[in-house]
Amino acid sequence: MAAPVMLGELAEPILPVTDRASARAFVDDHIVPYANAWEQAACVPEHTLELMGEAGLWAPFLPVDEGGAGMDMVTLGAVHEEVGRGCSSVRSLLTVHTMLSWTLQRWGTPEQRDRWAKDLATGRVLGAFCLTEPGAGSDAAGIATTATRTADGWVLNGVKKWITGGQRADLYLVFARVGSSIGAFLVPRESPGVHVTPITEILGTRASMLAEVRFDHVLAGPDALLGPSGFTAGMVLSGTLDLGRYSVAAGSVGIIQACLEACGAYATAREIGGTRLGGLQLIRAKLSDMVTDVRAARLLLSEAGRLKDAGDAATIMATWVAKYFASTAAARHASEAVQIHGANGFGGDYPVARLYRDAKVMEVIEGSNEIQRITIADEAFREALRQ
């Protein structure tokens, strides 16, 4: 376990995040009080990113000898939930960094892991995930960015859009077309030919430093390819998206919990016509639904994490289910949270407007809810055929 880090004589020590309780304490101290301001500023300050590194938040699932803490997936889900409770933008940065770090650890060569893992674990290098393009979302078949093999390695050309953390990331995990299939590539942001354009008009996760990233004849070495190219690179992408989906599901649970906490506090303090808001039956009904759904979503997430820890292939479907349930519940309850706050819910004095904007994003990213329902329905039909 890392020793507490002191930031000057008067600063509180930054304790390592090892579980839900320590994550909650970190988030309450260093994220919750500032999340609305970060949303307005459209960025998470560098100081906070450094604090996250000192707390060991960036990639605690990596093995100890690669700079991580060997954290299990159930605990990782709880940690990402807590971060998502505080700020979906921070959780989004954590998600894409996690996707890159996990993919490196899972499919990288020893040389690639030696080069990047420890810097990713500490946050000295921040990662981003580059799949979506102006003309293609999570549909890998629609990728237009190309990677062409040369005598010295690879040449990448194309445009990636809606890249979370793209403005800040040091290392991109880029999925590109290789012939008739795809491949995953590690591309440092400092590579000549990488052009980053901030995206400032965005519905939610406004502080997640989104960018359009253009690769213009970017030369990458032969060691840039992470895993295979060809059909089996789709397995790499599927695994990366699965972990991203798990993190987004966790963040969605965090949004519901944040809605519940905000509404509980508001309905306790607010009076209307001499009656405490929390005494009104329709308000109580909304809070009871939040309590029920956050517990259900958390259990679905935990089950998906347990299956990941067991290496059970059933985690893929369990993660789809958890993400679908949690993201739709988050969007529903964030809307109700604004409703409970009335006009106060529209502004920046309370967190619920931000939660409302962020929750909508969860229904779209890492596989839209429509795609999720198609996939889940396929499982239902398979189950029927098996019986």
Catalytically active residues, by annotation? 366
Identify any residues that bridge with 157 across adjacent strands, giving them in sequence order: 146
Rg (CA), the chain: 21
Strands of 69-137, DSSP E: 127-130
Region near other proteins per CB under 8 A, out of 49-57, 222-230, 277-285, 336-344: 222-230
Q: Which residues 259-318 are close enough to bind other proteins by CB under 8 A?
A: 310-313, 315-316
* Residue 228 is a binding residue for other proteins (CB under 8 A): yes
- The single residue among 109, 150, 275, 288 that binds other proteins, judged by CB under 8 A, is 109
State in angstroms the smallest separation of the CB of 117 from other proteins: 14
Distance CA 156, CA 71 (A): 34
Q: Give helix then strand counts, H and E, for the chain.
A: 11, 9
**CB closer to other proteins out of 110 and 274:** 110
| DSSP structure class, residue 367 | S
* Residue 386 is a binding residue for other proteins (CB under 8 A): yes
**CB closer to other proteins out of 29 and 223:** 223
Identify any residues that bridge with 146 across adjacent strands, giving them in sequence order: 157, 177
End-to-end Cα distance, the chain:
49
Region near other proteins per CB under 8 A, out of 30-38, 211-219, 227-235, 332-340: 227-235
Instruction: Please state the φ and ψ torsions of residue 343, each to the nearest 5 degrees.
Output: -60, -30
Total number of residues that touch other proteins (CB under 8 A): 28
* Residue 227 is a binding residue for other proteins (CB under 8 A): yes
* Residue 237 is a binding residue for other proteins (CB under 8 A): yes
CB burial of residue 361 (10 Å; 0-12, 13-18, 19+): buried
**CB closer to other proteins out of 177 and 354:** 177
State in angstroms the smallest separation of the CB of 152 from other proteins: 21
Region near other proteins per CB under 8 A, out of 160-168, 172-180, 230-238, 328-336: 230-238
State in angstroms the smallest separation of the CB of 69 from other proteins: 20
- The total of other beta-carbon atoms located within 10 Å of residue 115's CB is 16
Distance CA 379, CA 187 (A): 36
Sign of CA dihedral 100, 298, 57, 362: positive
State in angstroms the smallest separation of the CB of 318 from other proteins: 12
Region near other proteins per CB under 8 A, out of 7-15, 23-31, 237-245, 342-350: 237-245
Determine which helix (DSSP H) or strand (DSSP E) holds 30, and give its type and residue range. Answer: helix 20-30
Distance CA 34, CA 44 (A): 9
State in angstroms the smallest separation of the CB of 303 from other proteins: 16
* Residue 236 is a binding residue for other proteins (CB under 8 A): yes
* Residue 153 is a binding residue for other proteins (CB under 8 A): no
Binding site for other proteins (CB under 8 A): 106-109, 140, 226-228, 230-232, 234-239, 242, 310-313, 315-316, 375, 382, 385-386
